Amino acid sequence: MTKRIYYGTKKELVEVWNDSKQKDLWVKGTIGVGDFMSGLNVAYFRSFVLNIPIKVEFHWYHSEDYQFHMEDPESIIEKFDYLHQFYYQKGTDVTSTHVFDSKDKDLKKKRYRHHRGVVKKNDYRCWSFNIDMLKVVTIPKKIVLWRQTFNAAAPRSFKRAFDNDGWNYIVKSLKNQGYQVVEIDYRTPIREVMYHISNCEATVGYEGMWHFVAKNFWKPMIIFTKDNITNLHTPNAYIFAKRIKGDFDVALLDDFPKVLVAAKKKINKIYKQLIIRGN
């Protein structure tokens, strides 16, 4: 696993910057919230560190009102608009536009243009929600959990950490330890997602779904994954990792206070202070 190196000033970051310095960024939009939040984070972080305006263009390979499932409470664009309004420094040097029914096949394959994607030693996908959102009071022992077993379509194998019985065991274990568990999924209205993650003490889930929301709240995250991509998206999470064919022990969270302490230590306080401080 690559050791992350974080720098406490923008000057230091500029000196070691090894991602694109372009003012234009193109991002492939998908049905996943994490994918567009990753693109927004790249744009805001680059603008912040390099002191340049960024134009980010999201390409969607469907219509504006497309819904993945008929029971979805919002379209992915409605989720985008709702979450974006809470971004720190929204309306300053980052502007976003959308292209629907895109024909850009190269971008569809590569996911980004003017972003390396894999930058091992740093986290160029780091950003924050605004100050008011960060001031929401945390409810002690409230844990927000998401599982893949309620998804409309089965996710890729590396996201399937447990079957439904395994997740049920984890929920029961957390409750037996005195924690309040709130479960959310893809069909949870986005306003409820923001409410629950904003005031929780930590999140537990698989690689994906709402992990970037928790990331932008600087929340302790416990993630189960079978792919190294988690170290790129959320290196600040406490990660339980296995190979694709490996099985996770359902009892991994039976001593949750100990896990929670470790997860809190993983929060990227250096970048949080840098972003909020501004220099």
Q: Return the domain boundaries, the chain.
A: 10-113, 131-277
Nearest to 194 by CA among 66, 87, 62, 272: 87
Residue type, 100: F
Mean pLDDT of 258-264: 96
d(CA 169, CA 174): 9
Burial class (CB in 10 A: 0-12, 13-18, 19+), 193: buried
Number of Cβ within a 10 Å radius of residue 191: 11
Residue 242's pLDDT is: 54
Convert the pLDDT of each residue in 234-245 to its tens digit.
888 888 865 555
| Domain with residues 131-277, CATH architecture | 3-Layer(aba) Sandwich (3.40)
Nearest to 7 by CA among 36, 37, 41, 48: 48
pLDDT > 70: what percent of the chain?
89
pTM over cut 0.85 = yes
Residue 67's pLDDT is: 86
Listed ranges 118-132, 148-162, 262-276; the one with the highest mean pLDDT? 262-276
Q: Are 107 and 113 in contact (CB under 8 A)?
A: yes
Mean pLDDT of the chain: 89
